Amino acid sequence: MTLTLHPTFREEARRIKDAYAELSPRSSERFVLTLRLCLEHIEMSPRSAGHFFDKNGENQSRIRRCNLQGFPFFIAYAVKQDAVYVAALIHAKSNPDGWPLHRVPGDM
C-alpha cells in the first residue's frame, strides 16, 4: 500500500508536537509515538484502520478518519485501490466547516 502525505501534514504534526513539548516533553514523545502508530495502522490496513468520516451529520464516504488514542486529534485520509492519501491532522473539537477536506484528491 502506498501512503502519501499532504505536503502540509508534517508541518501540522510538528506544530502540534511542539505545543505538547511546551507542556511536557513526555507528552510530546507520546504524541509522536501515537501518531506513528496510527499512520502505520492506516498503511497496513487502511480500510479497517478508520471509520467513515461524518461532517455535520453528512457521511463523507470517500474519506475516513483514524482517531489518535489519548489525544484530541484524528487523521483524515482516503483510500483508492493500492493508494492511501493522508489529507490532514485535525483537532476533534474544531469547527467542521474549517476541516480541510478539499485536500483529498477528487479521484480518491
Domains of the chain, residue spans: 2-98
Find out whether 50 and 77 touch, Cβ atoms under 8 Å.
yes
Share of the chain above pLDDT 90, in %: 59
| pLDDT, position 50 | 73
Q: DSSP secondary structure string, 24-41?
A: -HHHHHHHHHHHHHHHHH
What confidence category does residue 2 fall into, taking pLDDT thresholds of 50, 70 and 90? confident
Average pLDDT value for the chain: 88
Name 82's Cβ contacts closer than 8 Å, sequence gap at least 6: 1, 2
- Report pTM: 0.86
Q: What is the CATH T-level fold of the domain 2-98, as seen in this structure?
A: YaeB-like fold (3.30.2310)
- Residue 83 pairs in a beta bridge with 2, 80
